[in-house]
Structure 1
Amino acid sequence: MSNLPVGENWYEIYDIGDGIFKVVEPHLVGFMQANTYVVRGRDDTLLVDAGNGVMPLRPFLAAHGLEPTLVLATHAHADHIGGLYEWPLTLCHSAEAEGLRTLDPDVTLAGSDYDIFDLRTLMTGDDSCSGPIITALPYAGFTSSDYRLRAPQVQAIEEGQVIDLGDRQLEVLHLPGHSPGGVGLWDASNRVLFGGDAIYDGRPYDGLHHSNVADNRRSLQRLLTLNPLVVHGGHFLSMQSERFKQVIEDYLAETACLTRPRQE
């Protein structure tokens, strides 16, 4: 039996303006606290990612007047996909769609022995990770057998497709690097970018077994050309334009020597 305390509220929700809401799970170790976004449109409401799925997400959103009609996964890592099964269909880039549908550990990073009380069951590439993934229990008596990832139904999407909410259109950007099928969503009319784990307020992470530095650099160089006003990343706080540029430029400078051709 775990000696962790019981968390008071599993989810927290924030109205971040312009019809966008952010949901976080505060009772997880830092790097597993992925952001979930709900984007309200005139005709449809879009859910972007769905957290770890420790507790049901859909009734929580409904209690706050939010009922997504479209669901998209920015990528298929375990901290972003847990609640997707609660909706009838999830959009995911074709490079990861089948892996999400089958919960392939090479895609989700969650091994067949995935245990929310044991970070070592995540394929992070960091052998120093240990201990529970959660910092509190969702309810008294919760055990590892009470939690598992559940496979959603998946429809593949591609670069350039548009998610039309009626009064807001979001273009799908394929942004490989962190993972092969990572995507962002670009609202050109409002200059708003949903970056997934391709870009957030921190060094872009490229240390996973399927990460690729060269792809990451190309994706970030592409994002620089968009000049967004605000960026809602897959982790941490949202960024304004100047911080967004700084994060990318710092990463490009740091990794330049890793992709530069050798001089003969």
Structure 2
Amino acid sequence: MKPRPGWFSRTIVDATTTMLSEPFVTDYCRANMWLVRGRDLDMLVDTGMGICALAPEIDITPGKPLLAVATHVHLDHVGSLHEFAWRAGPRVEAEFFATMPDEATYANMFRNFPGAVSELPWPGWSSADYAIVPAPLDRLLEEGDVIELGDRSFTVLHLPGHSPGSIGLFDCHDGTLFSGDAIHCGLLVDDMPDSDRTAYCATMRRLIDLPVSIAHGGHADSIDGTRMRKIAMEYLRRNGG
């Protein structure tokens, strides 16, 4: 379905990074999508809800491939993944991408969410009809894998806790981290059926020691490394980590 005008917002972060979001989706499910341009390969980190088509909003460079990477399989990060021909995501959750079951994506939660959207994407739309199209992965990512863009590279970090397979993408040369839902300055969700607070504490301890200069999360604003480490330490204090 063609998006209504303004369904997607777009923010230029720097010369190679653009953030997209869905401003009319409820805060709880409004995720950030990150387009990162490289010399040889462009990378799209997460793909939103899939209510309106995302692919037409992505400026494709003719002749240059685009890799769409899902940081985890929850609904607000995989909704438009099927629109992209080359897809990657965490090996730990790989089986779910082929069928997108409610028990893994929590799409059923959105179907019954009060105030799911503040504006209808098209007349007659209803959250009760929401479904996620299966998107089998072409590349399975795990700890230590590297995504090469040509002029920069991102190392895959397994950052479980929010979900079993949650990953981050870290550029060790400039300290940029695309952290998914592992850490950001919004509400850190650790009470989903597949969440694990013990694993989340281990992830937070790891992040404290990571030389991050800026973290682009799955929700809320980007944060510098000092703020990220403070958030991680606060989480550990609250959870006895």
Q: TM-score, normalised by structure 2?
A: 0.92
Secondary structure in 1 matching 2:205: helix
Please name the residue that 1:262 is paired with: none
Letter in 1 for 2:6: N
Letter in 1 for 2:125: F
Deviation at 1:194, TM superposition (A): 0.5
Among 140, 148, 166, which residue is 1:182 paired with?
166
Alignment of 1:134-153 (within 5 A): 134-144=117-127, 147-153=130-136
Secondary structure in 1 matching 2:35: strand
Whether 2:55 is the aligned partner of 1:58: answer: yes
> Deviations 1:147-166 (Å, cap 9, x if unpaired)?
42101121321110000000
Report the Cα distance in structure 2 between the residues aligned to 1:165 and 1:75, rounded to whole angstroms: 21
> Deviations 1:34-56 (Å, cap 9, x if unpaired)?
00000000000001000001111
Deviation at 1:139, TM superposition (A): 2.2
Distance 1:109 1:146, change over 3 A: closer
Secondary structure in 1 matching 2:68: strand
Report the Cα distance in structure 2 between the residues aligned to 1:152 and 1:132, rounded to whole angstroms: 27
Alignment of 1:200-211 (within 5 A): 200-211=184-195
> Deviations 1:14-51 (Å, cap 9, x if unpaired)?
11014011000000111111000000000000010000
Among 213, 220, 228, which residue is 1:236 paired with?
220
Larger Rg: 1
Aligned pairs, how many? 237
Report the Cα distance in structure 2 between the residues aligned to 1:146 and 1:86, rounded to whole angstroms: 19
- Where in structure 1 are there 5+ consecutive unaligned residues? 1-5, 120-130, 260-264
Report the Cα distance in structure 2 between the residues aligned to 1:51 and 1:228, rounded to whole angstroms: 25
Query: Contact between 1:46 and 1:72, CA under 8 Å: does it hold in 2?
Result: yes
Among 130, 135, 148, which residue is 1:164 paired with?
148
Deviation at 1:142, TM superposition (A): 2.8
> Deviations 1:158-185 (Å, cap 9, x if unpaired)?
1100000000100000011000000000
> Deviations 1:194-234 (Å, cap 9, x if unpaired)?
10000011342211011001100101111111121110000
Report the Cα distance in structure 1 between the residues aligned to 2:23 and 2:127, rounded to whole angstroms: 18
Query: Contact between 1:75 and 1:93, CA under 8 Å: does it hold in 2?
Result: yes
Alignment of 1:1-264 (within 5 A): 8-62=5-59, 69-111=66-108, 116=111, 118-119=112-113, 131-144=114-127, 147-154=130-137, 155-256=139-240
- Where in structure 2 are there 5+ consecutive unaligned residues? none
Deviation at 1:245, TM superposition (A): 1.3
Deviation at 1:7, TM superposition (A): 6.6
Q: TM-score, normalised by structure 1?
A: 0.84
Report the Cα distance in structure 1 between the residues aligned to 2:91 and 2:123, rounded to whole angstroms: 40
- Percentage of matched positions with identical amino acids: 35
Calculate the aligned-residue CA RMSD, in Å.
2.1
